[in-house]
Amino acid sequence: MSHMLQLDNVHSFYGHIHALKGISLYVDQGEIVTLIGSNGAGKSSTIRTISGLLHPRRGQVLLEGKRIDGIPPHQVAGLGIGQAPEGRWIFPRLTVMENLEMGAFSRNDHDGIRADMNYVFDLFPRLKERRTQQGGTLSGGEQQMLAIGRALMARPRLLLLDEPSMGLAPMLVDLIFETVQNINKEGMTILLVEQNALMALQVAHRGYVLQTGQIVLQGDAKRLQANELVRKAYLGED
């Protein structure tokens, strides 16, 4: 049986810079899989390669056994891969509701769109309170909620989350990760890229550790949490 998502020996470049050096990983239906690593390790390059923003020079990206590397990002999104990108990238001049509607731009099932918007408002009550507010006037945490909500409005089968805790206060970090777990419990498959290794490994089922464009460790999240290299390099332990 095919994995939901699989990267097989993927090499991606920015010009002459070799960003991903033979990445192989997989995500199965219903999992939370996390990619952890320091800045420049290749985490966001992996997400960009999956979403079609970066085309690998070698290797394959497969969705349920079918190659998707080389197709443009809007077609990747149309296949059921949603993304909340690093830095959020919401539309600052649009209201919260308009941002969410943009997430559903490829849909025409009006009743379903309304139901999904209510679902997002149930997940993030603050967004409901601010639904007529412009996105650019929201706090960083609220913008992150909006970025996740907008991704969910496309009804993806696989959700890519790129650094969802970046720049957030600890209380909001807890809320975002609790929401990630709740979304997953309802059946969403998630690939989570995160610098906060401790939080990521607490919510994930499995994980991969990236260093300079290569996977150096992989396995069950709890085992990675107990790994000496991970504890010293990423969990801040001596």
82-91 confidence digits (pLDDT tens): 999 877 789 9
The pLDDT of residue 238 is above 60: no
Asked if residues 192 and 32 have their Cβ atoms less than 8 Å apart, the reply is: yes
pTM of the model: 0.92
Torsion of CA 69, 71, 77, 81, to 10 degrees: -10
Asked if residues 114 and 108 have their Cβ atoms less than 8 Å apart, the reply is: no
Please state which of the four CATH numbers 3.90.1150.30, 3.40.1010.10, 3.40.30.10, 3.40.50.300 is assigned to the domain occupying 5-92+157-233: 3.40.50.300
Residue 135: pLDDT band (50, 70, 90) is: very high
> What percent of the chain stands above pLDDT 70?
98
Per-residue model confidence as pLDDT tens digits over 85-131 = 877 789 999 999 999 999 998 888 989 999 999 999 999 999 999 99
CA dist 143 → 114, 166, 179 (Å)? 20, 11, 14
Domain locations in the chain as residue ranges? 5-92+157-233
Residue 157 tokens read as: 């089968």
**Mean of per-residue pLDDT scores for the chain:** 93
3-state secondary structure of 191: strand
How much is the average pLDDT of 146-158?
94
Q: Which residues contact 106 (CB under 8 A, 6 or more apart)?
A: 77, 78, 154
- Predicted confidence at residue 115, as pLDDT, reads 94
How much is the average pLDDT of 193-205?
92
CA dist 191 → 63, 93, 117, 122, 166 (Å)? 13, 29, 22, 22, 16
User: What is the C-alpha separation between 214 and 42, in angstroms, rounded?
Assistant: 8
